[in-house]
């Protein structure tokens, strides 16, 4: 994976996880100090050699919302409508609204 100025990227924390599949590398969660560093890695993800994968670790609320909304989006697409999944959240006094 080639990242411009990779020697300048500052990583705040790294957590190694156990892999369920012994043929795959162990997953790692990385927390970047700066958003711009995270964006450099995210933009370079398409050039990641196999078997490595770069994904975002989304909060459970996002994952659950996607699980509810993806079937709706697929139904709209199969009906001929142009649709895109966008999760919008409004937070008020620690309450999350979808």
Reported as a single tens digit per residue, the pLDDT across 11-64 is: 998 888 887 888 888 888 888 899 898 888 888 888 888 777 888 877 888 888
Which pLDDT band, with edges at 50, 70 and 90, does 91 fall under? very low
Q: How many CB atoms lie within 10 A of CB 11?
A: 13
Q: Comparing C-alpha atoms, which of 88, 84, 28, 85 is closest to residue 61?
A: 88
Position 42 scores a pLDDT of 86
């Amino acid at each position: 994976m080639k990242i411009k100025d990779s020697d300048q990227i500052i990583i705040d924390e790294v957590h190694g996880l156990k892999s369920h599949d012994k043929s795959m590398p162990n997953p790692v969660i990385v927390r970047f100090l700066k958003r711009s560093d995270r964006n450099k890695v995210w933009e370079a993800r398409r050039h990641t050699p196999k078997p490595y994968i770069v994904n975002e670790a989304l909060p459970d609320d996002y994952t659950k919302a996607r699980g509810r909304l993806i079937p709706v989006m697929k139904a709209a697409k199969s009906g001929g409508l142009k649709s895109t999944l966008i999760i919008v959240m409004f937070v008020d006094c620690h309450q999350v609204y979808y």
